[in-house]
Amino acid sequence: MNVIKTALGAFACLLASSSVNAQEAVFVIRHAEQELTGLVDAGLRAEGRERATDWATILRPSGLDLVVTTEIQRSRATGAIIAEALGVPRVEFSKGGSSSIAEFLRENYPEDVMLVVGHSRTIPKLLRSFGYPDTFPISTAAYGWLFIVTPLENGPPAVARLNINLR
């Protein structure tokens, strides 16, 4: 498991170091496993807290400058665990604001490396707001997707899609 985390972290760092004209890189993940309470605003299960800690380990070499979450508990908690582990600030947005998140990041963090912790329904919209032209649906049962969006000087961004099953 540690070899996998190290290799993935090195891969993430390599992609983030590309020469770009906007953000260095934007990492996008779905919040970690949520409690099965039936509540719309559920928190994280123990497995979710463990996954968030694993994401921090994987993303440590990427040089994150900022973690962006929604106001929904599971996104907020996932991002808070990662931000605290990496010693970076966390900014919170409303769940439906994927285009405003992209615009805010472009205007305020033009040369930074950041992580956005989204939701299965918002991640495809968020990727499009960063210029990714493809559609990629996310299953509500999938928690292991990592998207690395690297803007290019001309055309749509480069996007690496990794499915990391840590559990």
Q: Coil, strand or helix: which one is 117?
A: strand
Cβ neighbours for 86, distance < 8 A, ≥ 6 positions apart:
56, 59, 60, 64, 67
Per-residue pLDDT at 14 = 47
The domain spanning residue 141 has which CATH number?
3.40.50.1240
Per-residue pLDDT at 62 = 92
Per-residue pLDDT at 67 = 97
Per-residue pLDDT at 106 = 85
Per-residue pLDDT at 97 = 58
Tokens of residue 37, six digits? 């309470």
Per-residue pLDDT at 24 = 81
Question: How does pLDDT run along the chain (167 residues), one tens digit per residue?
Answer: 554 554 455 455 544 444 333 468 999 999 988 888 877 788 889 999 999 999 999 999 999 999 999 999 999 999 999 999 999 999 998 755 566 788 888 888 888 999 999 999 889 988 998 888 888 888 888 999 999 999 888 888 899 999 887 65
Number of domains in the chain: 1
Q: Coil, strand or helix: which one is 116?
A: strand
Per-residue pLDDT at 93 = 84
Q: What angle do CA 88, 81, 126 make, to 5 degrees?
A: 75
For β-strands 113-118 and 25-30, DSSP reports them as: parallel
pTM metric for this prediction = 0.83
Helix 46-59 to helix 2-16 angle (10° resolution) is: 50
Q: Which strand (E) or helix (H) includes residue 131?
A: none
